[in-house]
Amino acid sequence: MLARRIIPCLDVKDGRVVKGIHFQNLRDAGDPVELGARYSDDGADELVFLDITATLRRRKTIVELVRKVAENVFIPFTVGGGITSVEQMDELLRCGAEKCSVNTAAVQNPDILTKAAQRFGNQCVVLAIDARRSKTKADHWQVTVKAGTEATDIDAVEWAAEGAKSGAGEILLTSMDADGTQQGYDIELTRAVADAVTIPVIASGGAGTLEHLYDAIVKGRAEAVLMASITHFENYTINQMKQYLRDRGIAVNL
Amino acid sequence: MLIVIDYNVGNVKSVCNAFRHIGCDAELSRDHKKIEAASALVLPGVAAFGFAVNALGDLGSFIKDLALAGKPLLGICVGYQMLFDTSCEFGSYKGLGLVSGNVVDIPPGRVVPHMGWNKVTLPKDMALFEGIEAQKHFYFAHSFYADVTDTAAKIAYTDYGFKLPASIQKGNIYGTQFHPEKSSNQGLQVLRNFAQIAGERSA
């Protein structure tokens, strides 16, 4: 049986790991390569690096980052942030990333998912969705793009299903409402998306306690849980998370 | 010198990084002379099967002949799948045919891709798993799997609601569906074992 995955997420801005609340008020959390290697040693199942540098230099810094991480980290890692073409994905995969995540580019042109899946296999293609609870419709979530700065009319659950059909191998699902709050994942959102697709869903946004991880997996049906604040600021170690989940009957890689 | 076959697919670099990390001399190359002179070959691969087979091109039959002549060969992920006869991923493609079997869809009723860490039961008589506990998690990421029919192949399985072949050994031909270069310390040990099979030093 597949172990449920514990995935620390490293948001990288100008070469440093940062973490905010609702994508804002960023705090420094360290060097990405060092932090990545530490999580790998500590038993993380996977890492996600999202480059949130909002400048034209990003493309170059992201490649350098991936190269350095790949020399020091021997667990899978996903890289995302501003990827707009299959060629860019190819470069990042060749530098050592296991998967690439796309968000805005896929919304603008879903064909990128299909092309990437045909070229790399769909297990390399992660569709990142930043979702915000609709203010007008109960239990509906809107897709936002451009690092959460731009709302769309797209329904997050429908978009996840369409993305999976187009070629995504995994959904990285972030609740913008819960992001950075440490008040728990948006379980309804996670569950709605997990029920709508057959590919793995990574729950993201809101992890604050060990119970939150358990709930995302059991109630939200997430295959993996992603966290940032609770691990960067050392509330819990990866090992503590895994032991807790194992004691509650969840298969983990321990 | 170990040669990691460079054929324009994703992630070949990670395999080199991992060998370097364990202190083993490995070079990325598609040069026939270097490949012929290598102590052993590694055929990595993160790609769809058809893309990988096309990208490998003539190198395929060259590698096959060297493997048949006894040079140790380790296939990883799609590189492993190419050791078999055929694949039905996005069409119908021929593999190297070094090991009998076909690459087919993972049966329905489970999440696909099979992606993440799964526990592999490691037979004692498979050289790749020397020095590793009898059961260990390894990292998988694939949507198709090799249905191994070769009676001469030793097979290590993982459980994904059915017995999914995770690694094979047939004489000097080795393969892992999982990614040893991404499977933390136990994965690095698999690469160390392959380096030893090749007579290379590692730390």
DSSP state letters, A56-113: TTHHHHHHHHHHHHHHH--S-EEEESS---HHHHHHHHHTT-SEEEESHHHHH-THHH
A77-100 pLDDT tens trace: 999 988 999 999 999 988 889 899
Q: How confident is the model at residue A27 (pLDDT cuts 50, 70, 90)?
A: confident
Comparing A59-68, B92-101, B131-140, the range with the smallest average pLDDT is A59-68
Distance, CA of A125 to chain centre = 12
Q: Is the peptide bond before A76 cis (omega within 30 degrees of 0)?
A: no
pLDDT reported for residue B128: 97
Number of H helices, E strands in chain A: 10, 12
Could you report the predicted ipTM of this complex, rounded to two decimals?
0.83
Query: pLDDT > 70: what percent of chain B?
Result: 99
Q: How confident is the model at residue A56 (pLDDT cuts 50, 70, 90)?
A: low
Is there a catalytic annotation at residue B114?
no
Is the Cβ pair A124, B10 closer than 8 Å? Answer: yes
Considering only CB atoms, which residues of chain A are within 8 Å of chain B? 1-5, 40, 43, 45-46, 70-71, 74-76, 90, 93-99, 117-124, 169-170, 198-200, 223-224, 253
Q: Is the pLDDT of residue A49 over 80?
A: yes
Q: Tell me whether strands A77-80 and B101-105 are parallel, antiparallel or unpaired.
A: unpaired
For tokens 């004692």, the residue is: B124
Report the pLDDT averaged over residues A20-48: 87
A102-147 pLDDT tens trace: 999 999 999 999 999 998 888 889 999 999 999 898 889 999 998 8
B107 DSSP assignment: P
Residue of A nearest to B186 (CA): A74
Task: Name which residue leads in pLDDT, B143 or B195.
Answer: B195
**Chain B residues with CB inside 8 Å of A172's CB?**
none
Average pLDDT, chain A: 91
- In this structure, whether the domain defined by A5-247 belongs to CATH 3.20.20.70 is answered with yes
| Residues 6+ away with beta carbon under 8 Å from A19 | A11, A26, A27, A29, A180, A228, A229, A232, A233
Q: Are residues A170 and A193 in contact, defined by beta-carbon separation less than 8 angstroms?
A: no
**Chain B residues with CB inside 8 Å of A96's CB?**
11, 13-14, 17
The span from the CA of B96 to the CA of B81, in Å, is 9
Report helix, strand or coil for A28: strand
**Chain B residues with CB inside 8 Å of A119's CB?**
47-48, 51
Distance, CA of B10 to chain centre = 14
pLDDT reported for residue A137: 87
Query: Domains plus CATH for chain B?
Result: 2-197 (3.40.50.880)
Average pLDDT, chain B: 93
Q: How confident is the model at residue B156 (pLDDT cuts 50, 70, 90)?
A: very high
Report the pLDDT averaged over residues B32-61: 91
Is any Cβ of chain A less than 8 angstroms from the Cβ of B163?
no
The span from the CA of B145 to the CA of A35, in Å, is 34
